[in-house]
Amino acid sequence: MKGKVFFVGAGPGAADLLTVRAARVLERATVVLHDDLVQAEVLDLAAPNAIVQNVGKRCGHCGTTQQTINERMIAFASEGHAVVRLKSGDPALFGRLGEEIDALREAKIEFEIVPGVTAALAAAASSSISLTDRRYASRVVFATASLARDERQDWPALLASGTTVVIYMPGRDYAKLAAELIAAGAAPDLPCVVVTRAGAPDETASFATLQTLHSVESAAPSVVIVGEVVASKLRGAAAREAATILSAICV
């Protein structure tokens, strides 16, 4: 009998950000094939007798090939296993889900997708930013800095007034990224925030403008939120600081 593959979103890190369905599926799985960034506390939800394998791929590091991942999913499911393909964030966002679905369809393996909290939402939440604050943004765009075949993003097509842009996998050269955005028409003083390991206990957030983005030091994985909605966060912080100073003066 053939089993089934569940593509499960592990969310940004913390186990309590998993959906109830994701936790239940993970607890019942007999095989778990997980990304490298999935936190240990999430993996701890798997059954003690489950086969758990790290099949992660990280930029700049050797990892499991996509072909191998596909073959393992098919092999385990063909043996009758309930296979969880555990992906960081949401499976459908920048996780090569399409290629894995195609492989399962070709092998006639049943599958199901369980969504998760993507890094953009976790970063916005922890930074107290409304991605679509109606005063500043009427749309939000999720994009990557680099495309397939090492092509760069078409920033002029994505940048527009009233748009919040969340950049996944921005790379390590923030000076280059900022230069591309400014060349595409973004204002040099447009505010942005770099959030590293969004949703994890060791998350960090660095606020800047495009013209100062080059000074941010951040390790992967990170997302960059660019737009006037970030300015609202900074204005709020400045207002609170001014109120604190005024209160101290009055006392």
Which one of the listed residues 2, 4, 36, 57 is annotated catalytic?
Answer: 57
Q: Which residues contact 83 (CB under 8 A, 6 or more apart)?
A: 3, 4, 5, 6, 29, 30, 31, 32, 33, 73, 76, 77
Question: What gap in Å lies between CA 137 and CA 158, rounded to an integer?
Answer: 13
Whether 57 is a known active-site residue: answer yes
Q: Sheet of 51-54: strands edge to edge?
A: 51-54, 31-34, 82-87, 4-9, 110-114
Which one of the listed residues 35, 87, 90, 233 is annotated catalytic?
Answer: 35
Amino acid present at 156: P
Q: What angle do CA 94, 164, 221 make, to 5 degrees?
A: 40
Whether 44 is a known active-site residue: answer no
| Residues involved in catalysis | 35, 57
